[in-house]
Amino acid sequence: MPDAAYDDLADEPYTGLVTDSEVVYRGRVWDVRRDTVDLGDSTVVREYVDHTGAVAVLALDDEDRALLIRQYRHPIRSKDWELPAGLLDLTGEPPLEAAKRELAEEADMVADRWDVLVEFFSSPGGNNEVIRVYLARGVRAADDVFAREEEEADIEVRWVPLEEVVRGVLERRLRNAPLGIASLAAVAARENGYASLGKADEPLRRGSWLTRPLA
């Protein structure tokens, strides 16, 4: 049973006094920014990836099978199993619409029910990315098939029992972070009757991501 004594266990928004900030590398997708921060007793300089944020989708069918995709990821030199996901890089696009778009584009699927499953900072010491994972249910094939290119051209789609996804994560065969966090969160949420799910259209607080304008 939940213990109300721990209800205050939450990340605390806090903004250090930034005395200087500059983009030291402007990338094709995201930038590297260098901030000088006055912490009161000390001043530190930190470089980090200035990220757009992202969404991912854990889609479950009526048999509690999760929809996984496999594609090539160059930085890790692997074809990893992961969730349909993408950047929040379209100006004015709500996170929910981005999630629906990614599910359709990467897996040719649509869903009737959407809820917020979990949110997390992917690497708080190195970037300001926040990822929101949606739980999608009532999943069915989309009317249109998306023409995929580059790494996405060879995407493989597979339905896997949720318990087998968790087993793969715990046995360290599946190492994609959003997949691992989402699958474990889904099992925990299912055990409490999905009472922890959030409304699909609730606002997404993106940490310090304020600096990169979107085209």
- On the CB side of 117, CA atoms within 13 Å amount to 28
What whole-number distance in Å separates Cα of residue 194 and Cα of residue 117?
Answer: 9
Residue 160 to residues 108, 127, 136, 157, 210, Cα–Cα distance (Å): 17, 31, 15, 10, 37
**Hey, which residues are catalytic here?**
151
Comparing CA positions, the residue from 13, 159, 30 lying closest to residue 84 is 159
Residue 136, Cβ density class (10 Å: 0-12 exposed, 13-18 middle, ≥19 buried): buried
What whole-number distance in Å separates Cα of residue 153 and Cα of residue 147?
Answer: 8
Instruction: For the beta carbon of residue 177, count every other beta carbon within 10 angstroms.
Output: 14
